[in-house]
Chain A
Amino acid sequence: MQYMLLIYADENAWESLPEDERQAMYAEYGKLNGVLRRQGKLVAGDELQPVATATTVRVRKGETVVSDGPFAETKEALGGYYLVDAESLDEAIEWAARIPTAREGTIEIRPVVDHAGAGA
């Protein structure tokens, strides 16, 4: 089964982090990426630009409406994701717990819908 691990964190806290601490976090992410890749679990994973760079698109009555944002009310914003292959929710939880940002932020696990049907 594939699981999307959505990484939510306080962007201000991340940006105000001293350079050496930020580098230490990147190193940790690098290690996790390596483990996920070696075990054949990593489907995809990326860090996202801050929410200030976000653009919202809606098509209404055939017209494309583009706007700045969205800017969520909550302090935590989506800052990155992993798409992993896992045996079960328990395994997905274990990978989520190993994401460095899980210590300050929040990881939301969403199972991916398998449209292939057979699943296995």
Chain B
Amino acid sequence: MQDAFAIALQRWPRDGGPANPGAWIVATARNRAIDRIRREQTLARKTELLARAEHLPDDEDTTIPDERLELIFACCHPALAPEAQVALTLSLFGGLTTPEIARAFLIPEPTLAQRLVRAKRKIRDAGIPLRVPPEHLLPERMRSVLAVIYLVFNAGYGPPVRTELCAEAIRLALLLATLMPDEAEVHGLHALLLLQDARRDARVTRGGELVLLDDQDRALWDAAEIEQGRAALQRALPLRRPGPYQLQAAIAAAHSESERDWLRIALLYRRLGELAPSPVVELNRAVAVAMADGPQAGLALVDAIRGLDEYHLFHASRADLLRRLGRTDESSVAYERALVLAPSEVERAFLRGRLAAN
């Protein structure tokens, strides 16, 4: 099995993943086992290996609920650096190119390529097992798996939207929630993905243009999916272990109310920033504060943020606040900076529209 996994790791980035990775792994393992048998000298050895190879498919059927879950846990093994875990899982499951993954991480492409090569080599050479971790290891192995699923979703959320990636992330989150019903953050992540996915059709116009939350046609929101999201969050709350995904889900739920409570949203972002400090969270808090207390208060928070100079949404948010304050020239400069950094044509088109209106 380890050999088959190693081959899968070498091949998939080149060939694209097979439709059913688990079955493919088993088939490859069987072929490799047969190759080995041909090389082996003694009959006893041959018999033993054959028996083992024949048992592989049964093992898969009876003990493993989802082959992909197994692969994800292997890719998210703590013996791999966290960045490598995320990169590897995305490259194996997301069907994304290296530049797309690099952009999702805000890192240079060669760095990512190097990361992938090292991670694959380590999985193969260090004997990282291809399995769902046993009970006593599960909780510690969960966190990075959740991060990976969320990143897969975000890669699909676009723009441009890749429905299959969003669906895949939601499917994996639901599967995890079913397998680990006592993990509050799994429900939190599941809720978050559903609530965000519910707005997918309203987020981008038919022409492929990005639509801000305020301008979205709420009739296009998937009401049933929002309800599913709320229900998933309700399953997390009684477990009484708040975490970043539950808070983000609560924020997404607050955004789907007809009358948004910006003060509450800003507060949720503050708690999120306490649990998981990040300049991106701070940027979102600033935007919520701007809605609650006005653009001046928001801009003060935005201008205090460090480390997002290469992030287009930082400049786009800043440009929007400056525009609302009537500081048009500064706003245009910020929009131009955002335009240079924006990774997709859809976003560039949106920014050009705003720039022209200034």
Contact = CB atoms under 8 A, between A and B. Distances in A.
A120 B36 contact: yes
A90 B39 contact: no
8 contacts: A1-B127, A3-B127, A86-B127, A88-B129, A90-B133, A92-B127, A93-B79, A118-B40
A100 interface: no
Contact of B129 (A90, A111, A118, A120): A90
Nearest to B123: A89
Contacts of A89: 77, 79, 126-129
B66 interface: no
A87 interface: yes
B125 interface: yes
Given A89-B126, A111-B125, 7 more contacts: A86-B127, A89-B77, A90-B128, A90-B133, A111-B126, A111-B127, A118-B40
B36 A118 contact: yes
A87 B125 CA distance: 13
Contacts of A1: 127
Interface residues of A, number: 14
Interface string B21-50: 000000000000000100110000000010
Nearest to A87: B129
Nearest to A110: B126
Interface string A60-96: 0000000000000000000000000011111011000
B106 to A, nearest CB: 30
B137 interface: yes
Interface string B291-307: 00000000000000000
Contacts of B39: 118
A90 B36 CA distance: 25
Nearest to A118: B36
Interface residues of B, number: 14
Most interface-central of A1, A89, A118 (chain B CB within 10 A): A89
A90 B141 CA distance: 12
Interface string A38-77: 0000000000000000000000000000000000000000
Contacts of A90: 128-129, 133, 137
A87 B77 CA distance: 16
A80 to B, nearest CB: 21
B76 to A, nearest CB: 13
A109 B49 CA distance: 28
Contacts of B126: 89, 109, 111
Contacts of B40: 118
Interface in A11-30: none
A88 B49 contact: no
Contacts of B77: 89
A111 B3 CA distance: 15
A100 B211 CA distance: 59
Nearest to B128: A89
B195 to A, nearest CB: 35
A53 B314 CA distance: 59
Nearest to A2: B127
Interface in A102-120: 109, 111, 118-120
B295 to A, nearest CB: 52
Nearest to B130: A88
A3 B127 CA distance: 10
A90 B78 CA distance: 10
